[in-house]
Amino acid sequence: MKVVVVNLWPTVLLVAGLIVLWQFAAVVQVPLMMLALGITLAAALLPIVRFCEKRLRLPRVVAVTVVLLVLLGVVGLVFVLLVPPLVVQVSDLINNLTRSNFGQLNEAVRALLQRYPLLQSLLGDADLRSLGESGLKLSPNLLNAAVNVFTSVAAILGYAAFVVLVIAFALVDPEPLVRGALTAVPQQHREAGQRAFDRIVTGIGVWGLATLGLGVLMGSLTWLGLEILQVPNALLYGLLAFLGELVPNVGFVVATGIPVVALLITEPDKVLWVIALAVVLNTVLNSLLAPLILGGSVQLSPLSIIAGILLFAAALGLTGAFLAVPLLVIIKVLWEEFYLRRLEAPSDREVAEVLE
């Protein structure tokens, strides 16, 4: 009988190395996420830098400096103009939520259902008194949460400075990053690696500009619409709409839910108007305008975006939710270039037979 000896040490060492690497990544998760965020934003700003180089004929270092100074100047100007009224509106919102009887939420919803019978038939006779009591118990914690947020400003500024440095170095001298990425690709797949790199940079660049533009439009139009409706704290809700646009689909729900809950307590008659405004803006900007802007550079279905946001947010937190679309772009491009390109695409008839 022949005895076969199997050397398991390479497998054991590989598994042990992966475990150690995973533990190390968990410890340095935040810096790694900031590094990934900086590289992603650098890829998003790369088209602007190239425009300054080619059209304005600026040296690379000067183009990067100009772009970063303009970006920081705009952020600083927005900070100076918006922070004082935002502080007042956040304080007003917290005071209203902490001093209000959350039991009013039940009565407000009942009055709204009586006024609109269609909602009554859709929702049924829901008793929200338990929700009100839970909110009343949680309301004192809102002020503590706000204090904790303000005490974290120093850490946020430190991470922001780190991200800006990563962006600057990645834009000024991207050659080491490109060389390192292509070196990791075997020679026989180098051409596919070059195509994938070009597609990833183009897709992330278009995503960055589109996200910023759509976010500004969403925030501005939300603020203007809420001002017309005479909704309190309109500027704060406009900022939430802008931030919600950074996390597709999911961010819209969160950014709309906060003013709706607040209005259910104070001015329930305006709730449906606010929901209608949010739905119209989201439909026009994200369903009609966004596909035109993104074109064929991203081509991600809404289902894949939602799934990606949930998965990356669960694994990496808020930064993962923000980076979900760029990460999905990278995964999609690599999958297509290194795997699907070798396969024959199914015909329309085969797809139709599956759908029948």
* Residue 275 in domain: yes
Give the pLDDT confidence score for residue 110 in this predicted structure.
Answer: 65
Span 274-290, pLDDT tens digits: 999 988 988 888 777 77
* 49, 171 Cβ separation under 8 angstroms: yes
Could you tell me the maximum CA-CA distance found in the chain, to the nearest angstrom?
89
Q: What is the pLDDT of residue 127?
A: 47
Structure tokens at 329: 């772009």
pLDDT average, residue stretch 81-90: 70
47 within some domain:
no
Confidence category of residue 225, pLDDT binned at 50, 70, 90: very high
Q: Which of 149, 153, 151, 106 is CA-nearest to residue 130?
A: 106
Residue 21 has pLDDT above 90, yes or no: no
Tell me the Cα Rg of the chain: 25
228-280 pLDDT, tens digit per residue, is 988 888 888 888 888 888 777 677 787 888 888 778 777 888 888 999 998 89
Is 74's pLDDT higher than 70? Answer: yes
328 in a domain, yes or no? yes
Phi-psi region of 343 (alpha: psi -120 to 50; beta: other; left: phi over 0): beta
Residue 138 pLDDT grade (very low, low, confident, very high; cuts 50, 70, 90) = very low
Domain of residue 206 covers: 191-343
Q: Which residue has the tokens 């103009």?
A: 81
pLDDT at 128 over 50: no
Q: Is residue 29's pLDDT more than 90?
A: no
Q: Are 66 and 58 in contact (CB under 8 A)?
A: yes
Domain tally, the chain: 1
Q: In the predicted model, what is the mean pLDDT of residues 65-82?
A: 83
The torsion angle over the Cα atoms of residues 124, 125, 129 and 131, rounded to 10 degrees, is -10
Mean pLDDT (the chain, rounded): 76
- Give the three-class secondary structure for 28: coil
Confidence of residue 103 (pLDDT cuts 50, 70, 90): low
Q: Within a domain: residue 271?
A: yes
One-letter amino acid for residue 330 of the chain:
I
pLDDT at res. 224: 93
Residue 231 lies in a domain: yes
pLDDT band of residue 131 (cuts 50, 70, 90) is very low
Nearest to 98 by CA among 141, 39, 162: 141
Q: Is residue 120 part of a domain?
A: no
Closest CA relative to residue 221, chosen from 261, 277, 286: 277
pLDDT band (50, 70, 90) for residue 65: very high
pLDDT at 186: 82
Q: What is the pLDDT of residues 171-211, one digit of tens each?
A: 888 888 778 877 878 888 888 888 888 888 888 877 877 88
Residue-level pLDDT at 234: 85
* Residue 180: per-residue pLDDT: 81
Residues of the chain with pLDDT > 90, as a percent, come to 4
Q: Higher pLDDT residue, 17 or 302?
A: 17
> Which pairs from 230-233 meet CB under 8 Å and 24+ separation?
231/259, 231/263, 231/267, 231/270, 231/274, 232/89, 232/92, 232/266, 232/267, 233/89, 233/90, 233/92, 233/93, 233/259, 233/262
Residue 145's alpha-carbon distances to 53, 138, 165, 274, in angstroms, are: 45, 11, 30, 26
In a domain, 56, yes or no: no
pLDDT in tens, 297-337: 567 777 787 788 788 878 777 777 778 888 888 888 888 88
Mean local confidence (pLDDT), 93-112: 58
pTM: 0.63
**Residue 327 falls within a domain, yes or no?**
yes
